[in-house]
């Protein structure tokens, strides 16, 4: 085999693979634009494309509300994780104090406990304190993560102490040093952490399913799941419109930030 046929084979394999990766999305969008009559045909481009399914979803169901709920939960959690995990990582990396090793090991050990192990006590706790069926109930388990603390500690350690001491001599307070000197040094790691946190909260399913009962407070994944297996079972054109609304924002964000995201995964994966 000469070089040209070889590279032709490589490209063909990659293109075939790409079709498998992309096709489900095309099929999803295509079905969502079809009328109920056409939904079982194999046309990729609908004969009579219509936005009727989207109109119905936003008017007759709570998808709009679920979308906003998901957005609020994901954004608030991401801000909290980014702030607290970075701060704790910084303190553990850059200060000497009594109890430091114990605190770090304790936080690390939470990484070994799967979330599934905590849901029953969380649930009992939430029922006790009235946290079920509200935003706080959805939010509280994810406000800080052991992973983020570990990640940020690794990156904070690379900041030279001299830099921080120079700021101290200039009279900057400790918190200002953290905000103005430390954070800009590890910005790529923080943005990677934000992306991971946002993604995993946008996808969270088990806990929201347990803690929320009123449809008004559902997040998108729970809402879509109930929608698709309940009243609208087998209305595939509507289910696919719902799936598109759930899946597309993430894909758009990914296109905007793809360089950061791929770099972030490489960065954190290799640490």
Report 29-58 residues binding another protein (CB under 8 A): 31, 40, 42
Binding mask 107-136 for another protein (x = CB under 8 A): x--xxxxxxxxxxxxxxxx-----------
Contacting residues for 260 by C-beta, under 8 A, at least 6 apart: 188, 191, 192, 195
For 99-110, b where at least 16 C-beta lie within 10 A, e where not — what string? eeeeebeebeee
- Under the binding rule (CB under 8 A), the answer on residue 81 touching another protein is no
Q: How far is the CB of 106 from another protein (least distance, A)?
A: 7
- Under the binding rule (CB under 8 A), the answer on residue 24 touching another protein is yes
Q: Which stretch binds another protein (CB under 8 A): 16-24, 55-63, 152-160, 182-190?
A: 16-24
Task: Give CA separation, 122 vs 58, 218, 258, in Å.
Answer: 33, 18, 35
C-alpha 17/C-alpha 151 separation (Å) is 33
Contacting residues for 78 by C-beta, under 8 A, at least 6 apart: 194, 197, 198, 201
Q: Which stretch binds another protein (CB under 8 A): 52-60, 152-160, 181-189, 256-264?
A: 256-264
Q: Which stretch binds another protein (CB under 8 A): 7-15, 53-61, 154-162, 184-192?
A: 7-15
Q: Which of 78, 132, 197, 244 binds another protein (CB under 8 A)?
A: 244
Site for another protein in 143-172 (CB under 8 A): 143-144, 146, 168
Q: How far is the CB of 198 from another protein (least distance, A)?
A: 10
- Under the binding rule (CB under 8 A), the answer on residue 199 touching another protein is yes
C-alpha 131/C-alpha 44 separation (Å) is 46
Q: Which is nearer to another protein, 48 or 115 (CB)?
A: 115
Q: What share of the chain is helix, strand, coil (3-state, %, to 5)?
A: 75, 0, 25
Q: CA torsion angle for 188, 193, 83, 114 (degrees, to 10)?
A: -160
- Under the binding rule (CB under 8 A), the answer on residue 236 touching another protein is yes
Q: Which stretch binds another protein (CB under 8 A): 46-54, 87-95, 130-138, 153-161?
A: 87-95
Number of residues that bind another protein (CB under 8 A): 86
């Amino acid at each position: 085999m000469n070089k040209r046929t070889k590279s032709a084979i490589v490209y063909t394999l990659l293109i075939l693979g790409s079709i498998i990766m992309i096709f489900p999305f095309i099929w999803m969008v295509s079905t969502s634009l079809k009328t109920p009559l056409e939904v079982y045909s194999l046309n990729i481009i609908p004969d009579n494309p219509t936005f009727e399914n989207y109109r119905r979803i936003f008017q007759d169901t709570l998808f709009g509300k679920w979308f906003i709920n998901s957005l609020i939960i994901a954004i608030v959690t991401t801000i909290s994780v980014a702030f607290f995990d970075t701060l704790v990582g910084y303190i553990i990396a850059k200060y000497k104090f009594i109890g430091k090793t114990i605190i770090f090991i304790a936080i690390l050990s939470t990484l070994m406990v799967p979330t599934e192990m905590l849901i029953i006590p969380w649930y009992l706790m939430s029922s006790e304190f009235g946290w079920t069926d509200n935003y706080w109930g959805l939010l509280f388990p994810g406000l800080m993560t052991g992973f983020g603390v570990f990640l940020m500690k690794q990156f904070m350690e690379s900041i030279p102490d001299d830099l921080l001491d120079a700021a101290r001599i200039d009279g900057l307070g400790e918190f200002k040093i953290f905000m103005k000197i430390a954070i800009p040094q590890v910005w790529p790691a923080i943005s990677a952490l934000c992306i991971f946190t946002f993604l995993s909260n946008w996808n969270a399913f088990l806990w929201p399913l347990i803690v929320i009962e009123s449809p008004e407070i559902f997040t998108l994944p729970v809402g879509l799941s109930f929608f698709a297996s309940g009243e609208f079972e087998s209305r595939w054109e509507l289910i696919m419109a719902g799936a598109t609304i759930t899946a597309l924002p993430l894909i758009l964000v990914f296109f905007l930030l793809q360089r950061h995201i791929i770099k972030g995964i490489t960065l954190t994966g290799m640490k």
